[in-house]
Amino acid sequence: MRRIASVLAVTAGLAFALPAASATVLYSTGFEAPTFSLGALNGQGGWVVDPFAAPADAAQVVVENTVTYKGGQAVEVPYMAASGDLPYYAVGPIVPTDPIVVSMAINYANIGGTPALFAVTTSPGFDITAGVRLYSNGNINALTAGSSFPAIGTYNPGTWVDVSMTLNYATQTYSVSADGVLLATNLAFCGDMPDSNDCAGSQTSQFGDVEFFAGRPKQSIPAYLDDVSISSIPEPASWSLFIAGVGLAGAALRRNRRPVQIANI
């Protein structure tokens, strides 16, 4: 019995040493009251709106309650003739030890406009780690190294699509899902601020922020974002170790329960 207790103690120690089964939420928001009130997003709940042109444009990115994904409020990023605006939320910079999952619900329908951008960067205003572009024709393209932003899926412009990216800093790759459907895996990190054609693929070791850019559309149809979340998930290897420990404990219990053979006297 002492041997069994020892095995169980080791297994229990493994359980406490390993990360929790569920993801660790680093940040989550639906832009709801009382944290957010109707009006300019800039400065609310830690969000910053970085205007590309006139600083006054930042006030036009607003929390509204007409077009929403979940709950009663969302963020509207309006059309601006000479500018584009970049709402972002900074968690880091941090150096992740486990994969990071970032998701955002997006509603974009600017026919003929430049694409909307949902991205993760190393820190505000710096190089893009991973991201997707949503085009007005319904294509979803990935910002990945050594490519011309390949199309990986589609969405319905003018309706909500929940886009999720899982970033693995150990392998420098990421995957993309839309509305729970996996679109692509093993996409190489972008690794820089991309030009119109490709990403350099520089090594990326830290997570900075999640951001959205509505571009400079040709028609005055705003974009919307909602239900933003950032989570850290445990590596599968850790859980393999835990399962192995449980297996050892079970084997010890089975051995102990075998009938004892008594020698004939």
Would you list the domain boundaries of the chain?
Answer: 23-235
Q: What is the mean pLDDT of residues 90-106?
A: 94
Q: 204 — phi, psi (to 5°)?
A: -125, 125
What is the predicted pLDDT for the residue at 80? 60
Q: The tokens 């050892």 sit on which residue?
A: 248
Q: Kindly report, residue by residue over 208-265, the tens digit of the pLDDT.
A: 999 998 765 555 688 999 999 999 999 765 444 444 444 444 444 445 544 444 344 3
> Distance (Å, rounded) from C-alpha 90 to C-alpha 123?
7
In Å, what is the CA distance from 3 to each residue of 6, 256, 258, 261? Answer: 5, 10, 15, 20
Q: What is the mean pLDDT of residues 25-30?
A: 97
Supply 173's token pair. 């790759």
pLDDT for residue 186 is more than 70:
yes
Q: What is the mean pLDDT of residues 9-27?
A: 58
> Distance (Å, rounded) from C-alpha 247 to C-alpha 261?
26
- Burial (Cβ within 10 Å: 0-12, 13-18, ≥19) of residue 151: middle
Assign a CATH topology to domain 23-235: Jelly Rolls (2.60.120)
When mean pLDDT is compared across 59-63, 70-74, 218-222, the lowest value belongs to 218-222
Q: Higher model confidence: residue 77 or residue 181?
A: 181
pLDDT for residue 6 is more than 80:
no
Q: In what order do the strands lie in the sheet with 85-94?
A: 47-51, 85-94, 207-213, 116-121, 128-134, 139-142, 151-154
> Distance (Å, rounded) from C-alpha 176 to C-alpha 149?
13
